[in-house]
Structure 1
């Protein structure tokens, strides 16, 4: 059989870029897709195919999947990694921004999945890997819409796993802990813009510092994206992958504590962990 084919969304940086490289090293034919296709020149030089893709646009998503099927005849692994963090108080966040967060993190994921599943059903095999977060199991201050999107990814993935098992298709969730990437700086910028000047400003400033720090090299409370990439490769190559992989600093213990501690006790722990005192 020809090499297995993997599609990685959000492939221009961070976890997506690393996962594309690691999947290629594992023997896959890899397509990395992102809105910022110009930022993937290094991936092309490494032998990874690149695609321009906006997961919120039907025509863009359809064209990307059709390109892969035309070129390769199959898709074996879909890594739904495209996403971003929209932070700010629920009171102040415009609902248009909430819609944008859900459009990318949830509906964009669902859009690519809908397009890929018919091909996997025909093959009677495939693996769909949805990148969630420890924030899909518990909330952090001022992250209501981001947390809502990741909680939705968790529930969507559970339902999808039950639906697709009959066709030989696995559905896996990667629950990433703190990861060093530009994600944190982008989320901090959105937080300051939304809540940095109003009644939540003290809390917003503390939380934005924590988010920004995760983008800095050597930050001890964030893992390198390679840690998450290795979990993606493990799920993609396993004969029977686990339904969830909790990886990165903080993910496993914090998820466990969120299920074990009383809510208010865990709230206090998370506020301290996030650097928030208010």
Structure 2
């Protein structure tokens, strides 16, 4: 699989961002060297799957951006499928990663935010608009902090990397300017009590959300990826312990939480799967 990355010039306006995307598509077409079977797009959301537009929260200039039509114009004749990045992550892990064989799966990314997607009865479930599985905005604290979405107490405000770092700093963790989840994990490994508490707090919030989504969707597997998940047992041990306390219904007894296997490629693999197998 050929991959390429470019920085997103989020502050430079909608058309400048599109120019970067279009240049990457042109490079990919040169590598493909022939007819294109189809194009899959995995985008941060919210998205409008039917309308073909995207409105990533972290890219304000792309509110309602018609990405599917723009891509179709660059790759004429090829079908273009649009999916949310969480749905595509879940689909990628279900197809070629840690979720192979699962029938009812939640795929999650815990990084600068918390995202997710669902595979139900073996098939991706995008929902009415393409945003089903947007689990970062499940409320876990009714009196909690305001979220970037405008709501309050979303799990993202507790369990994302920046949220855990912010909580640790607010409670006295001394760290260099610019320290993030990686440095927080290093401090936790070294035994820093505040860093360990930040991971426990974030993991407990994730467990509360997973128990709720598991009860609604009758899940059998949760696959967790993203930068924070790279901390390994620092996240997964308290998450599993808290989940055992929250998910007490008999039909949730077999619900497992496992690390993702495809890393940053999961969304790309899932986007390719949107176009079709093979």
Q: TM-score normalized by structure 2?
A: 0.35
Greater helix share, structure number: 1
TM normalised by structure 1 equals 0.35
